[in-house]
């Protein structure tokens, strides 16, 4: 007969009484945790924390009348972008708007909208970046880091049908001094 070097561990055999004792202990822990909840959280102002007012919302393009001659047809805002263009901490909205046309590609105007500084001041057009008389439409419009960017579509001659612009130009505007300065990033045939 062979004897083991390990002692007989009778207490390692699980009996129903062991399982019952373990279940009772776990129930006591869960019940204790449920009874001992932390108190309600409270906050108090700290000298180093400052609050600021919520930033003013960007001007709403739907609340503005655009300087378009639509001969009774409604105007449409085709594209818009928002951002702080002039560095005053308040966002402006740039829109490409045109008259609703039944066919063709109506020319767009690109307008900068700003909100007045007084309480309840309404949004208004403060600058025109592209006049509709230039016969351009806008396929992209962005505001990034204070720069307005646009992709303008146009026509090489009056003979080109208004449905099918054949020129594409990428332009940018930056607020400098008291006016927008335009720079062309590239022009090419469409």
pLDDT tens, residue order, the chain (190 aa): 555 555 555 556 666 776 777 777 777 777 766 677 666 555 555 555 555 566 678 889 988 999 998 888 889 999 999 999 998 888 999 999 999 877 767 889 999 999 877 767 788 999 999 999 998 999 999 999 999 999 999 999 989 887 888 999 999 999 998 899 999 765 555 5
- Each as own residue / partner, the long-range contacts of residues 138-141 (CB below 8 Å, 24 or more positions apart, any chain) are 138/78, 138/79, 138/96, 138/108, 138/110, 139/168, 140/79, 141/79, 141/80, 141/81, 141/94, 141/95, 141/96, 141/110
The Cα 109–Cα 82 span in angstroms is: 16
Q: Model pTM greater than 0.85?
A: no
Residue 96 inside a domain? The answer is yes
Collect all residues with Cβ–Cβ distance below 8 Å to 168 and sequence separation of at least 6: 139, 151, 152, 153, 154, 187, 188, 189, 190
Task: Give residue 102's pLDDT.
Answer: 73
Number of domains in the chain: 1
Classified as helix, coil or strand, 126 is strand
Classified as helix, coil or strand, 31 is helix
The Cα 170–Cα 136 span in angstroms is: 12
Sign of the Cα torsion 180, 183, 184, 185 reads negative
Residue 87 inside a domain? The answer is yes
Task: Give residue 143's pLDDT.
Answer: 96
Task: Give residue 7's pLDDT.
Answer: 55
Task: Give residue 27's pLDDT.
Answer: 75
Residue 46 inside a domain? The answer is no
Residue 36 inside a domain? The answer is no
Domain span at residue 78 reads: 61-189
Residue 53 inside a domain? The answer is no
The Cα 117–Cα 121 span in angstroms is: 6
Residue 54 inside a domain? The answer is no
Residue 169 inside a domain? The answer is yes
Residue 15 inside a domain? The answer is no
**How crowded is the C-beta side of 63, counted as CA atoms within 13 Å?**
12
Helices first, then strands: H and E counts in the chain:
1, 8
The Cα 103–Cα 45 span in angstroms is: 61
| C-beta neighbour count of 29 within 10 angstroms | 9
């Amino acid at each position: 007969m062979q004897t083991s070097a390990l002692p007989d561990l009778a207490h390692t055999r699980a009996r129903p009484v062991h399982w019952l004792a373990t279940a009772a202990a776990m129930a006591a822990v869960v019940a204790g945790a449920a009874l001992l909840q932390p108190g309600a959280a409270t906050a108090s102002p700290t000298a180093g924390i400052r609050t600021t007012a919520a930033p003013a919302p960007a001007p709403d393009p739907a609340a503005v009348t655009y300087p378009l001659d639509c001969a009774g047809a409604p105007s449409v805002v085709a594209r818009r972008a928002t951002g702080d263009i002039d560095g005053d901490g308040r966002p402006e909205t740039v829109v490409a708007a045109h008259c609703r046309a039944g066919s063709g590609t109506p020319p767009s105007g690109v307008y900068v909208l700003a909100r007045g500084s007084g309480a309840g001041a309404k949004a208004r057009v403060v600058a025109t970046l592209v006049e509709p008389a230039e016969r351009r439409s806008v396929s992209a419009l962005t505001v990034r880091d204070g720069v307005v960017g646009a992709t303008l579509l146009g026509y090489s001659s009056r003979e080109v049908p208004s449905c099918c612009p054949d020129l594409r130009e990428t332009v940018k505007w930056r607020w400098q001094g008291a006016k927008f300065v335009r720079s062309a990033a590239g022009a090419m045939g469409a």
